[in-house]
Amino acid sequence: MKLIQLHHGRHCKVMAVKETKAGQEVCPVVDFLNNQPKETAASAKGFRALFIRYSESGTNNLTTALFHEANKEEKIWEFIKGRLRVYCFIDSNNQAIILASCALKKGQKAPTRMIEEAVRIRERYLQDLENNKTEIEATHD
């Protein structure tokens, strides 16, 4: 699995999954946030500050309105900014948070499909980590 390190703070690293689609490397979470329409662009830009705050202090500087468990059973967390959501998981040694999927929230409940996607990515990440198949691209701070 390929990851892009977005920030390295005192508490942990913030990394996003990088994939190859149609022969081109993409980062779905970063692309989603960078390509928001005018109505949600301000919320999308605010995620960078949330990611930095988490990487520096963990949950200490984030209220549950900004960051909480979206699915306790699967240990999938969500960053919240307006109607935008970024789903993530914390790696097994608490050294990194991996941004796995994202969505524009349209209803009361978190989109099940995005949580399932985050779970699949977490399982693949843990398997690749165990088999030394993870690659981390240099930081983009």
Mean pLDDT for the chain?
A: 93
Q: Which residue type does 71 have?
A: N
The domain spans of the chain are 2-132
Q: Is the pLDDT of residue 35 over 70?
A: yes
pLDDT at 66 over 90: yes
Asked if 18 and 26 touch (Cβ cutoff 8 Å), the reply is yes
CA distance 29 to 130: 24
Scan for tokens 């009361």, then name that residue: 108
Pick left, alpha or beta for residue 107 (phi over 0 → left; psi -120 to 50 → alpha; otherwise beta).
Answer: beta
Report pLDDT for 88. Answer: 98
Q: What is the pTM of this model?
A: 0.93
pLDDT of residue 106: 84
By C-alpha distance, which of 54, 68, 66 is closest to 8? Answer: 54
Whole-angstrom distance, CA of residue 37 vs CA of residue 44: 10
Q: How far apart are the first and last CA of the chain?
A: 21
